Structure 1
């Protein structure tokens, strides 16, 4: 009877995951979708704790289980409440890495447990896949976390791509050897298993270490899909339908998002998988000529008397925590009869959807957010483009400079608008470390200063226009 009830609970949990994922596709329903999926997960966890049976026995170590749940829950809640939007990408990497670590630990524990009994080839294959993918996700996510918060610098050496592929090949060969010799696990099989674990951790580090600049959203998305696949392996191992469904959803969604990110970056998925993108080319500053600055009062007049304004948010907006001031500027301009829209590049910021989350926090209407293709179609009829902390995603060098590290990357073509105002703290190059040709074009004016302070001052000036 308990098995039937547990099966129904797992089915309900799986359905809530699917519904929640669907609702996450729109900001208006994302919060509710997240709660629905979390409710389904809570139901599945409690069902497993109290109803799961194996050989007629149920779980009995409730003290350890609920202590772990309590500690993890408190840490998660406090981290989510205290994290700033600028630190959101690194928190995503950290939490994703812990998911990969859990999958790898499950494989290690089950390998020791099953090795005492008869292990089928299918079980061993599932264990090895969970181990390798989970360990790569953990190690890679930890490196990504360190790089995003500045603790780890980009590092690459000559021939690293070859080393990466050799490490990957040796790891796979060891895993295949372990599967091929599965005739009763001996001591040397255990040694081989942990060699696979070490190689997977090493590959995760080498895979992410050279990646830098605007490529970081791609690797975060890819590692997220790895964690999902590793979790799905655990679902196969335990014959747990809800764990399997959740893992498949995360893995497939992460893979699709990775492909979309690669398209937005003009990168091939093959290059992502072998770790041959990111820090391969170093940005070289070149002589561009003179740039033109604009005062706050002049910028306010230009914006107030425009008919159509396009705002391009970037990581600088997140750093300054200026999303609410940006929304206030939008409202002030609309009171003046100005049409205000936002142009969102797929890889703006440090993680997929970073700008969407940032603006949603400030209650900016989703209907005002234009995707890159829509924005580029509307830019030629735009009077003023206000670029707030974005750099590489508006750099025209991506279209006409074959020597640029971002050459071929689709960008927001803001230079086609009638006028461009760029807000930056200084003329320092962006995250990819390259100069931006846009800053030196005749139609571009630079408005220096912290994004939040500049926007607040613009609002005051516009009220007086």
Structure 2
């Protein structure tokens, strides 16, 4: 295959990737978007194989690798529950970062095989591209592992604030730049691995102090990093498909990170420099100081919603943990049969990754036209009879609007407190990932339903049937 024809096929695969991103921007076209993405990747892999013309032994190894990776992917896809999707995404990001490091190392030790020089004399431009790609890849690898551990509950969701962490991070960043320059000038293998080690350490130190409330930003940020790592290695390998794909993933992840930060009214820098959020707990169903809560039952909730004209459901991570999305869909269907208008309101940072709630509702076959984003539905709460909050905490906290001392002050929230009645399912009065008390619990129009989210919704469905 000629280089010119291969470049054309890579361009076609790039167009397919763009169509994939476009398709993934809306639930109704997401399946088609996935098909475009798979077709683009298949074309890129096939083009690379035909262009390289590997030996029979090399081709056997490639086929074996594809079979092992594809087999593992198929098993994971079938076994992983939708509630564990955030940590799965983080784990996959780590593999992208590790692949960038391994490919860069292979290029360093065998440059003649990809035409970037000979052993001991790699082109200077390739060295710069290689070092940048490997640095971003190593940061992505360890950062994603830490994110996975936090999301999977194997590490505390609270921020781990190390002493003088900012000074240490700045010192490591300066050292990393110096090592990259030195490596590009000397092509020292030792300096290459020092770049890798410093980047691995920086990846851990950047993500460890970020708390659970900022995890959606972290996931999209690591997605962006993995793209830039792939693009950097694409330049090293002179592979157009990697450059296009990496640039698309990197830029889309960066844009998504910006959207997430805007959804929390926080700057990207403030998230990276420490973040907020932890997994604190409070007393269950009790007074907190001189404040009291109004506690209700499944029968109370069923009566209020059955006699309502409009109900807006606000899902949060508590719904994901309890895997209550299917029971919630059943409850909504029952209410609609009673003539109640039902809608769903999604906050941009609800859950632990961008689109987490949308994915769970789609799994339960909730109609797409009933699901609305914050800016599209927030004005409707004031004309709503019942706001049904299931496991969402910080994204409904009125302190974000009125308490200038609150760490979430200024963050756009879903105005559930403006509904005539707010039903709030929660296990306890514990705080959310921001680690602060929710004043919504104590409002006169709020009724707390203390229970596991799935069990409470199932009990409400039973009560609606009577």
TM-score interval w.r.t. the shorter chain?
A: over 0.9
Moved more, 330-339 or 385-394: 330-339
Distance 2:181 2:379 in 1: 51
Alignment match, 1:233 = 232
| Alignment check: 8 A CA contact 1:283 1:404 kept | no
Alignment match, 1:92 = 89
| Alignment check: 8 A CA contact 1:388 1:424 kept | yes
Alignment match, 1:124 = 127
| Alignment check: 8 A CA contact 1:391 1:430 kept | yes
Distance 1:278 1:427 in 2: 19
Alignment match, 1:308 = 310
Within 5 Å, which residues of 2 pair with 1:19-418?
A: 19-52=19-52, 60-114=57-111, 116-153=119-156, 154-179=159-184, 181-182=185-186, 185=187, 189-273=188-272, 275-278=273-276, 287=289, 289-418=291-420
Distance 1:354 1:311 in 2: 15
Distance 1:370 1:76 in 2: 32
Q: Any idea what SS the aligned residue of 1:386 has?
A: strand
After superposition, the Cα gap between the structure-2 partners of 1:279 and 1:370, relative to the gap in structure 1 and judged at 3 Å, is closer
TM-score, with structure 2 as normaliser: 0.93
After superposition, the Cα gap between the structure-2 partners of 1:269 and 1:429, relative to the gap in structure 1 and judged at 3 Å, is closer
- 1:414 Cα deviation after fit: 0.9
Alignment match, 2:114 = none
Query: Which ranges of structure 2 fall in alignment gaps of 5 or more residues?
Result: 112-117
Query: Which ranges of structure 1 fall in alignment gaps of 5 or more residues?
Result: none
Alignment match, 1:457 = 459
- 1:60 Cα deviation after fit: 4.8
- 1:162 Cα deviation after fit: 1.7
Moved more, 149-158 or 96-105: 149-158
| Alignment check: 8 A CA contact 1:284 1:434 kept | no
1:160-185 deviations in Å (ceiling 9; x for gaps): 12211111111112212333x34xx3
Distance 1:217 1:8 in 2: 36
After superposition, the Cα gap between the structure-2 partners of 1:357 and 1:281, relative to the gap in structure 1 and judged at 3 Å, is closer
Q: Any idea what SS the aligned residue of 1:446 has?
A: strand
**Coordinate RMSD, CA, aligned:** 2.1
Distance 1:29 1:123 in 2: 39
Moved more, 418-427 or 44-53: 44-53
Q: Any idea what SS the aligned residue of 1:343 has?
A: strand
Distance 2:276 2:94 in 1: 20
Alignment match, 2:115 = none
Distance 1:441 1:262 in 2: 28
After superposition, the Cα gap between the structure-2 partners of 1:418 and 1:445, relative to the gap in structure 1 and judged at 3 Å, is same
| Alignment check: 8 A CA contact 2:279 2:433 kept | no
Distance 1:104 1:408 in 2: 40
How many residue pairs match? The answer is 454
After superposition, the Cα gap between the structure-2 partners of 1:143 and 1:288, relative to the gap in structure 1 and judged at 3 Å, is farther
After superposition, the Cα gap between the structure-2 partners of 1:158 and 1:145, relative to the gap in structure 1 and judged at 3 Å, is same
- 1:81 Cα deviation after fit: 1.2
Distance 1:387 1:281 in 2: 19
- 1:226 Cα deviation after fit: 0.4
After superposition, the Cα gap between the structure-2 partners of 1:122 and 1:97, relative to the gap in structure 1 and judged at 3 Å, is same
